[in-house]
Structure formats: structure tokens, C-alpha cells
């Protein structure tokens, strides 16, 4: 059995929250459905019915986790939070699936987290020294310990006190006995936005979750903002630290759905501009613009419009591929790619092709695709990538392979061109990237391209999850 | 729990066969993967190891049916046939899942069938009168009874004798103790083609199954042809009846994958021509051409090129939708469509939109989509359909709703336009259709558009499956 | 993973039928529960609701096969038959699970069979020559083919015509569009009895199925009798062949539950007499009588009473053992027995023990048990078996290992004594057996002890099931 | 669907531990198999491979929880603990299944617990006030919090410090990075004994777990003793509190297997004495002694020997009954009992019967059984119970229904006799009980009979588990 792999960075999570709606769990369920692309390893919902919390969490896709009507019917209450998880390789465990729920002095509390903390190792050690015991290997559990131990008075003060202690990337939905709380770290690495339907407030990682609910988009939770939804409606607070915005630019390049708003701006528009800028920076004389479907479709349309070359569908993607499949014939060439993509020969034959790809991690999938396009009769193949080369690891929630596996950190562009066996290969420049994405509200984290980290990681943080000595199913 | 529905006709099956390859079962498995779009209710493989047959059949998608390595390892032998089934509504039963296997005087026999017989009721009654007992409600079982009872001498003569008795649409793969046999009815309603890899012959409903195997496309099995693969290689025979070709034109409109060859010709090319012809026949002054993804993408590209209007991606399809999902909030408007599609507002806002759809059955999905496009801010919405109105039932293997549910048989075009709430609505003409699809090898069945049936159905045939008095899981 | 084995002959089946009760399926379900000991590989129920048949069949124990309320709710109708199957080793297949249902000229028919035919090979060949196709490897399918082909007029005449053609052991429940039919072969190898509740008739292999339903025991179906239940109540017919009774004496020795009536007589009473006779024939000077639980309990009580030696519980059986379990430590001595039995040391220590066992097949379990009893401190161990040595195969429905694996056919009693490491070993004589079991209504088949077969088997019949070339899950 | 109920008190758990054996997990698995009667809701094993802990826990019987070889193969390491759980009604949750594992300052720790704490509410509140968060509703989690927070120096000192703070019944197996620790509360309510095989030490609730492993019984862990197994072998420590022994006398009456040693003494012997004492105290002129199988078998043998009345098997128990089954016919009288028991009519008819039962909780099962025995033709029915009437709740780990449901606390003996419809009804006296059970090492807790509680429960403790506001699957 082989996992279908995807030669792309992995996002770690989707977050949802609903306050004060009789269909709270159902709304979270539908939102998680529309946010499936942000996390496919596990899904969970926790509801709050007058202080009693109901939890349903399991490994798998949303469609599998909530496959029975009875699964949903148990989730009563008018407040709910939910989470999809895309765990890092090798630590796929049910115990780590979120939302995470505990009982404390202040009653039950639940949390759902998108992002990655960089001082979790330090905080966990400190908490353990004070006698805390941990049941998961996630950094998220730390937040609940901090809240439970905070000496501050009101719940919202405890939450702010706790969030002031954690460093790194976090977009959170927290549910207490009476409140739904949303928060983003001071740099705003990960998105989180606010919607409204039938008078009820909704939190979601991307605005496409509001569309599936026919809900209204209100605004982004701001970096460093804590929003509280309770019987008095919405109120807003600030974390202590002030910092420059560092929104993850990869949300525009690849992660988010093109029909979403992220950091307050439309993804489709930004992604199209990346394609146009790429056409301006790295033009080529060719016959057809072909996207690697589906994530590069929008950038390819932008490139085609700017370059005035015909956009065509030359690669077909099989959407029935499950999460895993049996690899029956070990020797079959290009198998992992062939099971997912096929070429449309009539479109490619005897043509000079520009393949548009949004990003390259290992380069293995692309190499197979190029060979298939060549076999379909393409005369020339030019690869254009709508983002700069990925050279550095991300400590804020994206999952890349190690530096040794990042093709761009091991080869020059020319070497890569030869490895991929293409006629030309060009990336969008970092300046081109930054000039294409929305400027209004946001500056961006570009650490994976530039190595300039907005916040220095606790050195051991990266290896933290591998050091824990508990292995469960 | 609600089945996700798809407002399109349903194909009944995919057929695969491999002769004389040590990886026979694996090849069939991969071929079925690539033919998943032709049948999603059940999947099965039967292999032949020196006369012993091994069977694995279950309800579900290919990825689910063969989810364990051990499922595949049991399927030893170097001949194999396989089948994906898309059963007609309400008779989803494991007992009807194919391939169908029996033991007879001539040893074990297995069969996989795409199409629908029109004299099955008559034959079944005749066989029952002779004392035959039936275990399924499929017309396919009849073929094996006929072979077992044939008075002819050699196996191939028995097969031809039997196929001469059945009427209707059939593309078959039959496996006997020593042979793999492929056959198409004299009119050639359904496709079936021959490929080759490593010297082994392969049968498949569409050529995309050869691509996933990196196999060579040889040719279509001809209408009325019976091809036999055994130790002497390939030999060919003819059924007795001669008839005019009646290839199902819906294969080019919607069923087949665009990267396949069908009836010897490229689907992508035909589908693009449909779009171009539609643009010539039914032009409109507009700003953007938007396909209903994914099946209308190619026709939309053709329309856009011919009309010289910008092609855009204005609808996003969620590919994580499972076969069924819980419909949690009964009152939610447009729910069934919203869970599957979302609009890209920036693309649609203040634009005059041409929505390209390949066919309309009930019209309900399209009505919801139109409303979503309107809400996204489209100024005008013009629907163009790349096939004529569907007015009549199909007796040869496509599954439509009853005539009362076919929107085009109940309303005038103008009434439909009002019902859909669009600014204009036009279909491709039947002439336009026939002028666009390949002319070389084939004439076509257009019964669902014209009511001209190439072969008159036994009147009760249609109701046959509902009359049987056995209900199993 | 290791199958828990039981060093006893295996019965092939339990049969149930209910006519004219609104709870027909539920009654069959409960009856199958109480007959679980007769077959543990698969279970199935088929109901008849005004001519439409509903089927639910699966592998596993009754508790697992009907684990959902919805499984039962689907089984509507006021006629029903059911079956538990204990397949012969290595052919555990769902396709062979009964009841077996087909559609024929005369509408749907279903059958459940306990026993084994001895001319099935001959009949199957004959039917195949006439063009019949088979979907299972069971001899039971033959009966339905014969009925469907019978030239006789009424259904009951067709059934009798068909049953007159089959030879061997059969206790059957057959369900047609309007009737429930029960039948036993002319020699009456296997039991089948008639009960009544709320005016509805019930068929069951053993009378304990009536007790669970609080139903009344009426009488045994007689050897060679065919009973028909329809709108006119019960009527009775005779098969053509007359023959001497040959009830399987092993039903009294081991198969049937002690609380059942078999062949019209109480099992408990017969089994107790076997113990008493054994005490008279093979006395021993000892301190304690210890049964191998649970099947030898009654015989041990009889022995203890006759010998006036104290009956004690010296072996405890773990009833939580599932059908299979993981054998974790390959080297562990006596593991397969130890997981199932433990000794009560205080009972055995320093005592002269008589171990009562109802029958010995391979002797391996007993050898392990003896060693455990010895380790518990027993001073002497005397084994007494309440049936004669098993020397010959059964062709009428009991499943023994091959002759080479039958310990008594390979060793003298003295050799066995040494092999088992016991102080003495004695079997009940064949005369002793025949003098202990009820005399009134029945004579018995003793072929497995004496080699005198009441009906000569078609020589190939035994290997029949292994020759079929189809392997399914 | 109806849970099969058992009109007996419920034990809460079985505990296992193995130190320093390469087959540690397998030994625990087999031990849990033999201790299945002590807990049937969930089972779990945690192993320790050089400081890394591996966990496998799930709901269900041992045979189901460890159904795949791979489940066991993951559990590497030479130290292991295990647990079977019989949760109290209504709180059957996977999150509460044991062993419970956490990560702490001192590395991973795991715990398995048999018994019930009486100051858990108080301790939990205190811990929560200090900022602790809880993930389960079990009292067991408290122990790990206490250890993690202890200010003492060495691990064993921390453990003793923590166990000194908890009050109530506890027999524990604790596993740390380098040690296996066993402990019993100062009163020794629940059993725990030490065995040895191949030089490795084993902890088990009952000695039958040693028998399945062919291991040697060493001794009971003493009340108030803490035994530590590490690289230096076994060492022993004492809890601070000294108290009189209060072994749960119900272990001898009903809980433990008759082939076990409990509190250092043989259960079979004690249980037989209870039967003899009952015969002396409450004789009756009758024909047959009939146990309610299987738990009353031994006492019935004792009664029969003392009274010199014939012991017989008059009730047959169906051991194939699963944990739950569908109750198909709501109106069927005595259904819940009939599915489990049947009468042997030949044994009971026209006889004066003494039914021996070890204990009565609600009395409903017995009432049904009596009716069945009466219907089988018994002339007189005399019930004799081998323990005193249960009048009070247990706070130390047995699960009774509420006082209102305890038949003996609601009716006089004479009323009960009439309710049960028997000719006479007598219980063993408390003196008779105490004179029958072993005297050497132990005094006993008789709170459920006498109301004299060895340790006063924190009043809210009993309701504690129902107050928690988190509900998971």
C-alpha cells in the first residue's frame, strides 16, 4: 500500500467555530467539508450544550469521520468548534487529532489550532517542571495548561495571559463554558476570518466556508487580535506584543482555495496576478499554456492572458484517487504520477508547451509529468513556476521535506532544468511575488524563499515531536 | 444521509480484460481505476490461473474494493477480466455486481458486460421454461446460460451462437478456461478497444486505461466482431447479424474521459468541436465563457476560441465530496449544489457570463448554479448546452430518469429559460451535433434526442429488473 | 492468528423454518441463536412477504450476522427459513452460505439443508450436460435445479420428484412463493422436528429452538416424510424410497444440546445412559469423576452415579474465547488447550481421577489436558470415552479429519494409552452404545464406528467440493 | 438492540504487569484473556521499549481488541502493563479505557487500576485549583498528576507520596521509564498477586493468569505494600497508613474464577465451603441440587455433598451469546433469560428442586429462571443463596444498582419468596459466610451486607463521574 503523495508543501490545519446557532455542529461540519484541502488526516467537532461538551473526532476525511447521521445528532448545543488536521509525516495519531478537550477548574475547555509554536519545547519543559502531565505530542495542549494555570481573574484575561506566553504561528478557536474565542498571533502568519449567518458569528480559516453556508463575510481577525463571542455579542481584545504583519504568502501561491478570501483579499485575483507577472518576467515563445491541474489553473490563465498564448487543458487529473492505493506493479515507470494524471495527446502533439506549476518541492512529480507530456508528442516543454525557489524550512506550520529533499536547495536552476529534462525552466522572482500579492493590509513572511525568519525558533522546537516517548495507534 | 447526485445521465459500466500477462489482475485493477467515471457502485476482478478462477467483487469505489494488498495477492493467474458498475437507481445489490462467474460443463466461465439487452425478458422466460434458475436480476446472467446450453461444438462457436440470440447493446469480456473473448453487438452501441503491453493483449472500454498502464492502443473491437485471445494469439470472428453502426453519441458528449479514444477517435477533439459548433450556431455577446466543471471544460474552451471571448474558471468544484454525505440542515437553500460547487466572485462580478453545460437532465443542479452565479454579481447569464435536448429514454445502457423528470420533455425552451432564470438558453442542434462528431468510422445512435431507436426494445424489458421477487443486501 | 480448534467431529448445519407468523424472521433468528452449536461459519435468513423474498446472509456467528436492528427490520413477511453453516475445512466462502435463493419459472425459491448428498457429483454432471450453470460448490444448489426442471405438475410433486433423485443425508427446509416445506431423507440421518406457537408451524433441527421461543414441540418429521405448510395448514407426503432408519447416533453422543429432543427422544437422558453403561462396562477404582467440559458433563454425571464415585468440576473452560485468536508465543507448551481450559488444583491434587470424554478424534487436545491434570497433582488418570473408537469417515454430513488423522484408526488402544500418558484408557463398546440410546422409534447409522454404510457413496462425491475451479472470498 | 444483562454485581477491572521478558506484551495479552471475567468493556496494553511506550487500547473483549497480529507486533519492549475494564453503567467511553499513559518531567508513565478511590473528588478539585487539566473522568488519572507533582526525590518516593494521599480501594500496576511497580491499598480491598516465569516477574489480579502462562505463583502483594521490579530485581516498600485487612469477600462468593487463588487462598475451596455451610444452616428435604450455571456450580457441589442430595445439571447456559443482541419480539415472556438459559426437562420433571444461586441483586433473572423450572415440571422449588442479602452500596469498586433496585433492601425474605414464587428461600448468614472463607491471612470487608464501611467515603465521590461536562464517543 502506498500513500498518494503530492509534491507540495503541506498545511497543518483548518479551524472552524460557530457561536449561538442551533445548527452549530452542522455549520462546523459543512465548513470543514469546504476546508478539506487544508487537512486530510483527521477531523473533529466539539459542541457545547449549556456547559456540557460533546466530542466526535476520528482519523480520515470529513466524509468518512461524520458518516452516520447519529454521529452528528449527538453533537448538540449552540456553540461548536472544529478542526481538520494534516499531520506531519509519521506522527499520524488519533490522540493528536483536534479539537483537544479537557476539564479544568473553570469547566470544560476545547481548542482548535492552525499553525506551529516555536517555543513549545521550552514551555512544555517549564510546565512539566511544575508537575503538568501531557497526553499528546502537540504544541496545542500547552495552551490549555497555560490557561488552567493562569493567575489572572477573568477567563478572557487568562486566555490573553496564556497567548502572550506562546510564540510562533497560531490561529485559534477556543471554546469555554460560555464563550467562543478566536485569536491570531501578533504576526498573523495563518489566516482566520469572521462570518455571520442568521445573527450567529462564525470563525473559519478561509471564507469559502462561509459560502457553503450562504453566510456573510465580515472581516479577518487581525494579527494580535482576540475576539470573544458570548451572550453580549462580539468584543475584541489585543495581545500585548506588537509586530509587523507576516502573513504566509504561500496561502496565495498554493494553500487556499481560489474562491476564498485570505488576509482580507481574494485568492483568485492574487493567483492570477502571479501568472501575469510570471509571463512578464519569464516570457517564452510557445503554442500552448498548460496548467498542472488543479492548483495551477488560475496562474496559468493569468500567464496565458498576459502572454496571449492559447490556454489549454492538456493534463487530466483523476479525482477518484483515494488517500492510499495499492501499488501493484513495482517496476511500472511513472506509476505514482500516471495513476493521478493523464495527457490529452491531441492537445500536446507537435506543440511547444509551457507547463505552469505553482511550486516545486522535490521535483519528482514534475519530472514524471514532463516525461508523459514528451511522450504525448510535445515539441518543446518550458516550465514556469509561479513562485520563487523553496530553499528554507518553515517553522510556522507548513510541512516541507528536509533541506536535502528540497530540489532547489540542492541544484542550480540549470541543473534542475537538466534533471527535469525540459527546454527551459524559470521561477517567479521574490520581487515579482511581492509585487503581485495584495499590498493593502499585509506584509508577508517569505522565510521559505529568503531565509529571513520573522521570529527566531527555539532550536529544539523542530525536533520536539520526535522526542516524545509515547506511541499510540 | 443523502446521496450526492449528479444531474447527468448514468453510464452502466466499465469493462477490462487482460490475456497472458503475469500481472493480469494488477493491470485490470489499474484500468478500472482509470475507468472509475463509468461506474461507481461496485467493482470486481476475476482471474484465471490455469483453469482455476479467483474472484474479488464488492460494492464501492475501486480504491475501497481493493484496499488491502492481500485482496490483490489472492488474484493469481495470467488472464483476468474486471468490471465497474453503475447500477440503475434502487437496485444496488452486491449479488448483481460483476464480473459474474459460474461453473458449467465446460469449466468455470466469467463475464463482464457494458450495455443493456432489449430481449432479456423474452430470453429469461424461455430459459426458465426450460428449467433454468437465476441468481441475479441482471441481463448478463442470461449470456452464460445460453453458452452453457448451446449445442454448437467449440467454445467460440457456442459464444457466437449465444451472442446471436441476444439483442441490444453489449460490449463484453468473457473468460473461459483457456480464452479471453471480447465482443461488441452488431450496432456497436458501447465502446471496447484493444491494447497491448509486453506482448499481452488488453481489452478496455476506453483507451485511457491503456495510458495508465503505459500500453499501446491497437484498435477498436468492431461492431459485430468477436475477438479471441488464446495461446495462438488474437483471432477474429463475426456475429451473424449485419447492421448499421449506432455508436452512442453521448460517449463524446459526456461519458468518456477527454483523454480517451472512443470508437477509434479522440474524445477531446470531438468535444472541443461541439463547443465550437455551439458558438457558431448559438453565439452571444458576452464577457466571459465559464464551464460547469469538469465535464464541460473542453466544450467551453472550444466555444471560447470560436467566439473569441475570454475563458475563465468561475466555478470551483470540491473534489473531496464522498459518494454520500449527511445533509445536516434540511432548510438550507441550494445545499446539494453548494456542497459541490462554489463561485469565484472576482471572476463573475459585473460580467456578462456564458455558462457552458454539456447536457441537462432534470435541470435542478443548473438552476441552483445559476442562482449562485447571479449572487456572485453576474450581470447577465446565458446558458449554452453542447448537445440537443434529451427527450426520450435510452434502452441501451444509459440511465435517465423517467420522461416526466426530463426537463426538456416537459417544457419548451422558453419555459426552461424562465425556470432556470437565465437571460438566454440555447442547445446545440442535432445536425450540429452530428456534424461535429467524427465521421470516419461510425454512424450514431441519437435515440435520446430524436426518438429514432436503432433496434426496437422488447416492451417489458425496461421493467424487467423491477419484477424480480428477490431482495438481498 | 490461529483458529481455536475443537478436537471433535463437526456438524454441518442447523435448519429453521416458520410459517404464517408476523414475527417469522425473528423466530428464525432466535432459533438459530439456540442452534449456534450446529454451525458457526455463516448464518442466513430468507423471508417471504407475499411472494417477494428478502435475504440476509453473512459469515460469522448469529450475534454478528444480525447485529443491527435494521438487518432484522428488512426481513419482512410471515414465512421464513434460516440456516447456520459449519463448512468443511478450507471451503469457508460466503457464496456457499445458506439459505440459497434463486428465481425460477415458478417464482423465487429458497432452501436450507443439513446433511450431505452422496450422488451430487453424478447429478451435477448430468445437470451440466443439460446446460445448467452453477454458482456455488454446495450439493444443495442441485436440489433447486432439479425442482426447476421437474416435469411434474404441482409444486409439491416437483419437490418429491426432485428429492427422489437425490441420495444421502438431507433434512431440508424449502420455501416457495406460497409454501414452507420440510423433508427428511428416507433413512433419516439428520434430525428435523415440528413445533407450534400462536397457531404457526415451526421447523427446527433440534427442539431447543422451540424452548427459546416458548413454542410447543409437536413431533419429529419422519424419515422419508415431506411436510407442507400452506394456507390449508399442514399436510404430509412420502418420498418413494422406503429404507431402514439410520439416525446419526453422534447426535446423542455429542452434537445435540442436552436440553433438546432428537429423533423424538431426550438427549440428556440418552447421554446419561451412555455414562452409566460406560461405568458398568469399564469400571475403575478412583476418587473423582471429572468431565471434560461442557459436552461430557452429562455422561460424567451418569458415570459418577453408576460408579458411586464423587463427581467434581476439575477443569474450568474459558467461554470468552473467540473463534480465532492470536497465538503470540510459538514456543509455549500446551498453549492451544491452556487458553481454553484450566485445572482446579485443589480438586485434582493427590487424587485418582477418571476423566470422562464423549469422543476422541485426533487426541491432541486430550493429551494436553492430561498433562495439565497431571501437573495439578493427580495421582492416577483414567480416561473413559462414552462412545466407541472412531475408525471410518462419515459421508452423511459429519466432518472428520482424514483417516490418517483419526487417532483410533492409527493406534491400538494400548498405544493410545501410552501416547496420552494415562494409567488406563477405555471406550464404550458399540453394543453398549446401541443398548443405551433410545430404541423406540429409531435404528442408527454407526458407520464411523463400524464401517457399515447404510447407503454407498458415489465415490467421487467426497472430493466433489475440491474439484470446482472457482475461488471467491 | 439490548445489552445482555447479568443480575450480578460488576467488578471494575483486571490488572496485569510483566517485567523483563521479551514476550512481555504477549504475556499480558494472555493474562488479560484469562481475566476477561473481571472486565469486558475495554482492554489495553502499554509496553516499554527502553523508555519508549507503545499503547494499544480499544473498546471490546480481549479477542476483539487484539484481533490482528500487527496489533501485537507493535507492542515491543520487555516491560508491559495491561487492563480490562468493566465500566459503570452509562459511562462506557474509550477515553476512560486503561492503561492510562502520559508524558511527564520524568518521562512517560502508565497506570492500570482496579478499585475505586473515595477521596477522588476532593483531590481532583485540589489539583484543578493548582491548574491541573483532566482528560478523563476516571479517578485513576489523579494518581499520575500526584506523582508528577510530588516534591519527593526518587521515583519510588514520589509514588509512595502519591499513594499515601489517595484513599479507598486500589490495586495498581504502574510503569515508569525503568520500573514496573505494583501496589495495594492499606486495607487490601482488591487482590493482586506476584508470579514468575523464565526469571521474569508478573503481576496479575488473579492467579489463573499465571496458569495460562505456565508461570509460577509466588505470593499476594500485601495490603499497603508497594513492590518495585527493576534491574535490581524485586524490592518492597510500605505505604505509611496501617489498617486492618478488608479484602472484598465477594471475590470468594462470585467474582474470581474458581481456579484462581485470591488473597493467597484457593477460590474453589472457599466457594465449596460456602455451599456446605449453606446446607448445614439452611437444609431442605429435596430430590435434586441444581446450580444456576456457571458461577454457582462449585457452591452447589458443596451443598449436594453436605446434604447428600443428588447434584444435577438442570439448566443449560448458551455460551454463544454476544455482549449485545437484538431483542426482536418485545412481547416475548422471559426473553432475556430464555436466550441465555434453557431447562433440561427430564432432570427437573416431578422433582423437588433446590436451586443454588451465589447472590441476588435485582432478582429479575432468578424470577424468570424459577418460572422456567416450574414449567419444566418441578414439583417444589427451593432457592438457597450462598451469601447474605445485599443491602448496601459498595464504594470500593463493585458496581451495584441503586438501593431501590436491590431487591433485598426493599423486601423481607418472605416477600421475596412470594415475588420469586418459590416454595422456600434462604440466604447464608453473615456468620456462616465469615466462618467459611479463609481465616489465615485476611479479614474482610462486608459492607454490602452489613453497612459497616472500613473507610468513610467522601460523600460526593459516588456521583463524581456523572458531574463531568465532557461527553465523547
Residues of B annotated as catalytic (active site), given as ranges: 13
- Cα separation, A291 vs A301, in Å, equals 8
| pLDDT value of residue A93 | 67
Mean pLDDT of D393-410: 86
- Cβ contacts from A onto D, under 8 A: 121
List Cβ neighbours of D15 (8 Å cut-off, separation of 6 or more): D81, D82, D83, D112, D113, D114, D171, D172, D173, D192, D203, D204, D205
Average model confidence (pLDDT) across chain D: 90
Q: Flag if C61 and D334 touch (Cβ within 8 Å).
A: no
- Cβ contacts from C onto D, under 8 A: 156
Chain C residues within an 8 Å CB radius of D1:
68-69
B264 pLDDT tier (thresholds 50, 70, 90)? very high
Q: Flag if C326 and D33 touch (Cβ within 8 Å).
A: no
Chain B residues within an 8 Å CB radius of A326:
29, 66-69, 71-72
| D123-134 per-position pLDDT tens digit | 999 999 999 999
Least confident of A21-25, B112-116, B119-123, C64-68: C64-68
Chains adjacent to B (≥3 CB pairs closer than 8 angstroms): A, C
CB count, 10 Å around CB of C374? 17
CA distance C378 to chain B (A): 48
Q: Flag if C61 and D320 touch (Cβ within 8 Å).
A: yes
Domain range list for chain B:
2-243, 268-437
- When scoring D131, D158, D165, D472 by the number of chain A Cβ atoms within 10 A, the one with the most, hence best to mutate, is D131
- B227 pLDDT above the threshold of 90: yes
Residue-wise over A134-171: b if at least 16 C-beta within 10 A, else e?
bbbbbbbbbbbbbbbbbeeeebbebbbbbbeebbbbbb
CA distance A77 to chain D (A): 12
- Cα separation, D180 vs D17, in Å, equals 7
Find out whether A432 and A46 touch, Cβ atoms under 8 Å: no
Find out whether D371 and D263 touch, Cβ atoms under 8 Å: no
A402 pLDDT tier (thresholds 50, 70, 90)? confident
Mean pLDDT of D441-458: 88
> CA nearest D101: which of D57, D165, D157?
D57
DSSP H helical ranges for A74-153: 120-129, 140-149
Chain C residues within an 8 Å CB radius of B54:
471-472
List Cβ neighbours of A233 (8 Å cut-off, separation of 6 or more): A201
- When scoring A34, A344, A369, A438 by the number of chain B Cβ atoms within 10 A, the one with the most, hence best to mutate, is A344
Helix then strand then coil, % of chain C, to nearest 5: 30, 25, 40
Q: Flag if C344 and D212 touch (Cβ within 8 Å).
A: no
- A195 pLDDT above the threshold of 50: yes
Contacting D with CB below 8 Å, chain A residues are: 51-57, 74, 101-105, 107-109, 125, 128-135, 137, 144-145, 148-150, 177, 468-473
CA distance A268 to chain B (A): 7
Find out whether A82 and A43 touch, Cβ atoms under 8 Å: yes
Percent of chain D residues topping a pLDDT of 70: 90
> CA nearest D14: which of D86, D120, D70, D66?
D86
Q: Flag if A52 and D107 touch (Cβ within 8 Å).
A: no
Pick B470's closest partner by Cβ from C53, C137, C468: C53
Q: Flag if C347 and D268 touch (Cβ within 8 Å).
A: yes
Q: Flag if B344 and A318 touch (Cβ within 8 Å).
A: no
β-strands D380-385, D424-427 pairing: parallel
D249 pLDDT tier (thresholds 50, 70, 90)? very high
Find out whether B86 and B39 touch, Cβ atoms under 8 Å: yes
- Cα separation, A264 vs A261, in Å, equals 6
DSSP string computed for D148-212? HH---SSHHHHHHHHHHH--B--EEEEE-SS-EEEEE-TT--S--EEEEETTEEEEESSTHHHHH
Q: Flag if C52 and B469 touch (Cβ within 8 Å).
A: yes
Q: Which helix (H) or strand (E) holds D216?
A: strand D216-220
What 3-state class would DSSP assign to A342? strand
Chains adjacent to A (≥3 CB pairs closer than 8 angstroms): B, D
CB count, 10 Å around CB of B178? 16
CB count, 10 Å around CB of A470? 22
- Cα separation, B16 vs B193, in Å, equals 10
> CA nearest C226: which of C342, C147, C299?
C147
Chain C residues within an 8 Å CB radius of D343:
211, 259
**If you compute the radius of gyration of chain C from its CA atoms, what whole number of angstroms results?**
23
| pLDDT value of residue B138 | 84
Helix then strand then coil, % of chain B, to nearest 5: 30, 25, 40
> Where does B268-437 sit in CATH, by number?
3.40.50.2020
Average model confidence (pLDDT) across chain B: 90
Burial of B189 (0-12, 13-18, 19+ CB in 10 A): buried
A337 pLDDT tier (thresholds 50, 70, 90)? confident
> Where does C2-243 sit in CATH, by number?
3.60.20.10
Q: Flag if A51 and D469 touch (Cβ within 8 Å).
A: yes
| B306-346 per-position pLDDT tens digit | 999 999 999 999 887 665 556 666 667 777 788 899 999 99
Chain D residues within an 8 Å CB radius of C297:
313
CA distance B368 to chain C (A): 35
- D4 pLDDT above the threshold of 50: no
State the cell numbers at C87: 463448512
Q: What are phi and psi of C381, to 5 degrees?
A: -130, 120
Closest chain A residue to D108, measured at CA? A469
What 3-state class would DSSP assign to D133? coil
- When scoring C22, C30, C306, C368 by the number of chain D Cβ atoms within 10 A, the one with the most, hence best to mutate, is C30
> CA nearest A451: which of A405, A409, A407?
A409
Catalytic: which of A13, A208, A248, A448?
A13
Closest chain D residue to A76, measured at CA? D471
CB count, 10 Å around CB of A286? 22
3+ Cβ–Cβ pairs closer than 8 Å linking A and C: no
Closest chain A residue to B64, measured at CA? A322
- C75 pLDDT above the threshold of 90: yes
To 5 degrees, how large is the angle CA D84–CA D87–CA D89?
155
D89 pLDDT tier (thresholds 50, 70, 90)? very low
Contacting C with CB below 8 Å, chain B residues are: 51-57, 74, 101-105, 107-109, 128-135, 137, 144-145, 148-150, 177, 468-473
- Provide the ipTM: 0.91
| B365-412 per-position pLDDT tens digit | 999 999 999 999 999 999 999 999 999 989 998 877 778 889 999 999
Average model confidence (pLDDT) across chain C: 90
- Cα separation, B136 vs B91, in Å, equals 11
Chain A residues within an 8 Å CB radius of B257:
316, 342
A48 pLDDT tier (thresholds 50, 70, 90)? very high
The fold of C267-440 is: Rossmann fold (3.40.50)
Chain D residues within an 8 Å CB radius of C325:
33, 63
Mean pLDDT of A198-211: 97
- Cα separation, A288 vs C232, in Å, equals 81
- Cα separation, C420 vs C440, in Å, equals 38
Closest chain B residue to A310, measured at CA? B305
Mean pLDDT of C238-252: 96
Closest chain C residue to B53, measured at CA? C470
Mean pLDDT of A187-211: 97
β-strands D380-385, D352-357 pairing: parallel
CA distance D321 to chain A (A): 26
Chain C residues within an 8 Å CB radius of D268:
344, 346-347
Q: Flag if D259 and C33 touch (Cβ within 8 Å).
A: no
Chains adjacent to C (≥3 CB pairs closer than 8 angstroms): B, D
CA distance C363 to chain B (A): 34
- When scoring A259, A265, A376 by the number of chain B Cβ atoms within 10 A, the one with the most, hence best to mutate, is A259
| D274-291 per-position pLDDT tens digit | 999 999 999 999 999 999
| B177-206 per-position pLDDT tens digit | 999 999 999 999 999 999 999 999 999 999
Chain A residues within an 8 Å CB radius of B68:
1, 326
D468 pLDDT tier (thresholds 50, 70, 90)? low
D339 pLDDT tier (thresholds 50, 70, 90)? confident
| E strand segments, B86-212 | 100-104, 107-114, 171-175, 180-184, 193-197, 200-204
Q: Flag if C266 and D316 touch (Cβ within 8 Å).
A: no
> CA nearest A13: which of A100, A95, A113?
A113
Quote the pTM value: 0.90
Percent of chain B residues topping a pLDDT of 90: 78
Q: Flag if C145 and B131 touch (Cβ within 8 Å).
A: yes
State the cell numbers at C166: 437425490
Q: Flag if C469 and B51 touch (Cβ within 8 Å).
A: yes
Chain B residues within an 8 Å CB radius of C56:
472-473
Amino acid at each position: 500500500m502506498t500513500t498518494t503523495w503530492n509534491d507540495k508543501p503541506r498545511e497543518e490545519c483548518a479551524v472552524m467555530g460557530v457561536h449561538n446557532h442551533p445548527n452549530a455542529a452542522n455549520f462546523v461540519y459543512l465548513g470543514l467539508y469546504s476546508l478539506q484541502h487544508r487537512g486530510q488526516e483527521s477531523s473533529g467537532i466539539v459542541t457545547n450544550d449549556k456547559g456540557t461538551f460533546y466530542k466526535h473526532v476520528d482519523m480520515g476525511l470529513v466524509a468518512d469521520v461524520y458518516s452516520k447521521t447519529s454521529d452528528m445528532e449527538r453533537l448538540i448545543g449552540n456553540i461548536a468548534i472544529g478542526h481538520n488536521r494534516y499531520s506531519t509525516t509519521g506522527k499520524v495519531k488519533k490522540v493528536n487529532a483536534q479539537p483537544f478537550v479537557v476539564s479544568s477548574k473553570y469547566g470544560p475547555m476545547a481548542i482548535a489550532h492552525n499553525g506551529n509554536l516555536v517555543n513549545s519545547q521550552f514551555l512544555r519543559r517549564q510546565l512539566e517542571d511544575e508537575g503538568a502531565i501531557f497526553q499528546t505530542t502537540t504544541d496545542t495542549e500547552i495552551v490549555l495548561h497555560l490557561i488552567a494555570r493562569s493567575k489572572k481573574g477573568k477567563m478572557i484575561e487568562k486566555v490573553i495571559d496564556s497567548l502572550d506566553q506562546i510564540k510562533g504561528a497560531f490561529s485559534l478557536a477556543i471554546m469555554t463554558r460560555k464563550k467562543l474565542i478566536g485569536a491570531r498571533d501578533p504576526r498573523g502568519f495563518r489566516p482566520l476570518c469572521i462570518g455571520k449567518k442568521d445573527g450567529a458569528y462564525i470563525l473559519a480559516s478561509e471564507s469559502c466556508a462561509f459560502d457553503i453556508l450562504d453566510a456573510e463575510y465580515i472581516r479577518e481577525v487581525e494579527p494580535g487580535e482576540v475576539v470573544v463571542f458570548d451572550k453580549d455579542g462580539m468584543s475584541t481584545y489585543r495581545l500585548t506584543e506588537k509586530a509587523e504583519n507576516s502573513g504566509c504568502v504561500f496561502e496565495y501561491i498554493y494553500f487556499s482555495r481560489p474562491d476564498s478570501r485570505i488576509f482580507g483579499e481574494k485568492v483568485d485575483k492574487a493567483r492570477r496576478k502571479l501568472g501575469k507577472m510570471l509571463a512578464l518576467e519569464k516570457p517564452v515563445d510557445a503554442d500552448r499554456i498548460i496548467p498542472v491541474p488543479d492548483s495551477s489553473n488560475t496562474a496559468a490563465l493569468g500567464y496565458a492572458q498576459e502572454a496571449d498564448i492559447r490556454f489549454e487543458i492538456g493534463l487530466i487529473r483523476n479525482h477518484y484517487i483515494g488517500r492510499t492505493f495499492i501499488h501493484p506493479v513495482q517496476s511500472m515507470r511513472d506509476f505514482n504520477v500516471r495513476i493521478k494524471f493523464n495527457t490529452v495527446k491531441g492537445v500536446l502533439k507537435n506543440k511547444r508547451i509551457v507547463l505552469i506549476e505553482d511550486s516545486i518541492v522535490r521535483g519528482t512529480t514534475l519530472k514524471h509529468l514532463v516525461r508523459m507530456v514528451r511522450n504525448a508528442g510535445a515539441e518543446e516543454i518550458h516550465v514556469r513556476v509561479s513562485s520563487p525557489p523553496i530553499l528554507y524550512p518553515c517553522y510556522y506550520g507548513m510541512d516541507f521535506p528536509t533541506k536535502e529533499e528540497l530540489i532547489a536547495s540542492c541544484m542550480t536552476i540549470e541543473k534542475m532544468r537538466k534533471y527535469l529534462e525540459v527546454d527551459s525552466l524559470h521561477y517567479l522572482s521574490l520581487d515579482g511575488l511581492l509585487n503581485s500579492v495584495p499590498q493593502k493590509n499585509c506584509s508577508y513572511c517569505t522565510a521559505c524563499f529568503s531565509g529571513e525568519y520573522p521570529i527566531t525558533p527555539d532550536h529544539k522546537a523542530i525536533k520536539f515531536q520526535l522526542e516524545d516517548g509515547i506511541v499510540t495507534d
